[in-house]
Amino acid sequence: MAALTEPAPAKLNLALHVRARNADGYHDLESIFAFVDFGDTLHVAPADTLSLAIDGDFADAIIDDDNLVLRAARALATAAGRPAAGALRLKKRIPVAAGLGGGSADAAAALRLLARHWQLDWSLARLAEIGAGLGADVPACVHGRLQFGTGRGDRLTPLSRPDLAGTPVLLVNPRTAVPTGPVFAGWDGVDRGGLDPAAPLAALRNDLAAPAIALASVIATVIDALGRQPGATLVRMSGSGATVFALFESAAARDSAAHALSVQCPAWWCAATRLR
């Protein structure tokens, strides 16, 4: 078996409506999942045992038995009835606890990559079923395309929005990690209405922005800074934060904004990319 590589594109919630808090502690969500060209990269080489090495900008992620890449590998091996084996190496570029689904994207990449490496010839739908046991965002990340999610975000419908494909995007994170649990706990419980996936994005919202900003007020500063950039057509927090994304009318406007923010706020993390 040859060495193989698999991208793990970052996830964006172009909109995220929280509809209800359930007795089990989970929430009913409606979200538009999108993916960008920027992300992590996972490699595998033949080996007799399973191992994982991490490098890259955010390589300080903990490597232990709870790492989502290793959990995904073991779950796939169990489902396939074979040993979990392969020397995995993750190039970690997505910030941690950033609302970009980094851990879920890595787990999804592990499922796709090892299915190829082990020559399983399984469909993405079958891999997504395994991913559902790893986290609510993993099935969306397995498919890695524009989707409308309901339930916990794991009931997925492919979404066609030709107006969005290739749109320039700037991702900005103030290097503040915002834990998901406290953000959801801070939601005020008000159902502000359903999400029409065909509606203009400006008519939609992220219901987790207010509780995230209550925990990390710098998110509001990022939203304001991006909103003042020429050519920005939509500015919104992704997921439970703290990353904020801006869609731009052109790549030139996006790159100009990235340069301006790198000068004005050099401590912030920025990534210029586009919607897949």
> Do 152 and 178 fall into the same domain?
no
Helix (H, G, I), strand (E, B) or coil at 214: helix
- One domain, residues 66 and 137: yes
Instruction: Residue 237: give its domain's CATH number.
Output: 3.30.70.890
The answer on 246 and 120 residing in a single domain is no
pLDDT in tens, 100-110: 999 999 999 99
Which one-letter amino acid corresponds to residue 263? V
Q: Contact at 8 Å (CB) between 168 and 274?
A: yes
Is 188 in the active site?
Answer: no
* 146 in the same domain as 173: no
Element (H, E) at 69: helix 68-80
Query: In this structure, is residue 183 part of a structural domain?
Result: yes
Which of 94, 123, 158 is where one domain is finished? Answer: 158
- Same domain, yes or no: 146 and 22: yes
Residue 66: is its pLDDT beyond 80? no
User: Are residues 79 and 215 part of one domain?
Assistant: no
In a domain, 163, yes or no: no
pLDDT in tens, 109-141: 999 999 999 999 999 999 999 999 999 999 999
Q: What is the C-alpha to C-alpha distance for residues 134 and 132, in angstroms, rounded to an integer?
A: 5
Q: How many domains does the chain have?
A: 2
At 184-225, the pLDDT tens digits run 999 999 999 999 999 999 999 999 999 999 999 999 999 999
CATH of the domain at 83: 3.30.230.10
Same structural domain for residues 126 and 47? yes
Q: How far is CA 257 from the centre of its chain?
A: 22
pTM exceeding the 0.85 threshold for the entire prediction: yes
Q: Clarify whether residues 122 and 232 are in a common domain.
A: no
Helix (H) or strand (E) holding 227: helix 218-227
How much of the chain, in percent, has pLDDT values that exceed 90? 92
141 and 230: one domain? no
Query: Containing domain of residue 47, as a range?
Result: 4-158
Q: pLDDT value at position 2? A: 82
Domain boundary among 158, 185, 217: 158
Catalytic-role residue among 11, 40, 91, 92: 11
- pLDDT at residue 24 is higher than 90: no
- Is residue 11 annotated as part of the catalytic site, yes or no? yes
Residue 104: the pLDDT is: 96
Cis peptide before 203, with omega less than 30 degrees from 0?
Answer: no
Q: How far apart are CA 253 and CA 168, in angstroms?
A: 9
Q: Which of 158, 192, 226 is the last residue of a domain?
A: 158
183 and 49 in a common domain = no
Catalytic residue among 40, 106, 137, 207: 137
